[in-house]
Structure 1
Amino acid sequence: MPALEGRVVLVTGASRRIAIGAGVARRLVADGATVLLHSWSQHDADQPWGADEGGPEALVEELRAAGGTVEHVSMDLADPAAPHALVDAAHSAFGRLDAVVANHARSSGQALEQLTAEELDLSYAVNTRATLLLVQAFAARHDDAPGGRVLLFTSGQYRGAMPDELPYIASKAALHELTASLAVHLMPRGITVNCINPGPNDTGYADDATRAAVIAHSPAGRWSTPGDTARLVAWLLSDEADWITGQTIASDGGFSSR
């Protein structure tokens, strides 16, 4: 039996087929999970890399063609009602929800000199507040049986400086620090909580100079890939990882910018 057969998993931030959310969804479908994909393509459209030409619908079609049971919801996680609505959507579509992979992220590229209150508030709303409310909504409807899973996503701010991404790293660092407290609170209810630092993933945003700089700090001489991240996600969602909670795990091949 596939490792995740019978599990229903919500994967947020799956707007682009080249990115981590899509890579995670592919692996979960291959391992037998039923998946609700969340996307918000407007965020990508406003970024230099742009939105996926096929949109998230193309990923849904791909996953269904591979035999997956997949539904999709587009929702702006800056809306405080969105996290609870996402959990409701999973229950409406599949009758249950066993795991949340909170992969979504807002990136703004602001250094100290460009920093604005508006961007700080929006980054916290999407990256931190929405994630906490998503965990709250998931836990509220969890039946306290073993096998509940929450995976948060941080970044590499605790392993090296990221001075040009202050709103992003501040809001992501909060998730890193929240992991242990959420884990302690939810373990008695059969839910593990872990956090992943996926390392630098080349998902279409990096220029040649950035690619070279990352490779120079990578012991393996390469970037992380969505597939690298997806393997860790799939294991943490499986029964084999039921004793792992409260951990922040770097899936970065030993990368360090120091």
Structure 2
Amino acid sequence: MAGRVAIVTGVSRRQGIGFAVARELLAAGARVLAHSWTPADAEQPWGADPAGIEGVLEELGGLGPRLAHVAADFADPDAPARVVRRAVEEFGAVDVLVANHARSSLGTLSEVTAEELDLTWAVNARASVLLAQAFAAAHDDGRPGGRVVLFTSGQHLAPMSGELPYAISKGAIHQMTLSLSDALIDRGITVNAVNPGPVDTGYADDELRRRVAQAMPAGRWGRPEDVARLVRWLASDDAAWITGQVIDSEGGFRRWAM
């Protein structure tokens, strides 16, 4: 990854997947633009990182020649283009897009509202498409290793009827992956999606943590670094022949055991 420029969205908490991905790509030699939107975490039960975004960036090595940061609310339709533009301004190019950000949203069929559906769709699905669009417009096809990595969830493997806005928006990402890959493969840009399965990012209570661990053959949840290693591989030259795939990286998660 030496010399490559990557955008990683959703880098706002040290326990999160985005942080682990950014750290992995930096360790592999890439330059990284880390995106965050702390207000989104602050309104969730797990809260924002106690060290603030400054502490998150410091733990990644601090702002400098290989790490830059941008804050943006993906509910704003102009935000994806601003994020990509910032990467080009900072590093002169962009080679890899990792759209890891997500709005977590609970809601059963009787509870769901049009407003929440629209907001979750905008942040999760619409922003992923617009990020891919802006990335494609900015990418120099003379540079090797054009990569887009999206994030879906397990909604295609088991129902998620208690979090309909989230499941529906993530289902859209699953379905867009193949079509986006077809749109970009002639330019040498691959597009894949990752379903990371249950990952311990600090949101689960003790009972949920116990039940999920029992349903995992390894006896543990996934860790952010498990996901980060897969993303680093998808972003590398070794994965140049892989596109249009949705990869379930779940450690053998047995949903029926839940």
TM-score of the two chains, using structure 2 as the length reference: 0.96
Show the counterpart of 1:202. Answer: 200
Identity %: 59
Match of 1:255 among 249, 253, 256: 253
Q: Is the 8 A contact 1:161 1:257 kept in 2?
A: no
Where structure 2 has 5 or more consecutive residues not aligned to the other structure, the ranges are none
Question: Contact 1:176–1:248 (CA<8 Å) still a contact in 2?
Answer: yes
Counterpart among 24, 28, 32 of residue 25 in structure 2: 28
Shift of 1:144: 2.1
Q: Deviations over 1:164-198 (max 9, x none)?
A: 11000100010101111111110101100000001
Superposition CA RMSD, Å = 1.4
Which secondary structure does the structure 1 equivalent of 2:60 belong to? helix
Q: Is the 8 A contact 2:5 2:91 kept in 1?
A: yes
Structure 1 pair 68/165, CA: closer, same or farther in 2 (3 Å)?
farther
Give the superposition deviation at 1:82. 0.2
Which residue identity is paired with 1:29?
Answer: L
**What letter corresponds to residue 164 of structure 2 in structure 1?**
L
Q: Structure 2: how far apart are the matches of 1:98 and 1:62?
A: 24
SS in 2 for 1:176: helix
Q: For the residues of structure 1 that align with 2:21 and 2:53, how far apart are their CA atoms?
A: 14
Distance in 2, matches of 1:66 and 1:27, equals 16
How far apart in 2 are the matches of 1:198 and 1:211? 16
Aligned partner of 2:181 in structure 1 is 183
How far apart, in 1, do the equivalents of 2:12 and 2:63 lie?
18
Instruction: For residue 257 of structure 1, report the CA deviation from its aligned partner.
Output: 1.4
Q: Is 2:99 the partner of 1:99?
A: no
Match of 1:62 in 2: 59
Shift of 1:64: 2.0
Pair 1:17-2:14 in alignment: yes
**In 2, Cα distance between the equivalents of 1:67 and 1:235?**
25
Match of 1:83 in 2: 80
- Whether the 8 Å CA contact 1:17–1:56 is kept in 2: the answer is no
Distance in 1 between residues matched to 2:205 and 2:4, nearest whole Å: 38
Question: 2:58 is aligned with what amino acid?
Answer: E
Partner of 1:119: 116
**1:163 CA drift (Å):** 1.6
* Partner residue in 2 for 1:155: 153
Q: Structure 1 length as normaliser, TM-score?
A: 0.96
Work out whether residues 201 and 226 of structure 1, in 8 Å CA contact, stay in contact via their aligned partners in 2.
Answer: yes
Amino acid corresponding to residue 216 of structure 1 in structure 2: Q
Which consecutive unaligned segments of at least 5 residues does structure 1 have? none
1:109 is matched with which residue? 106
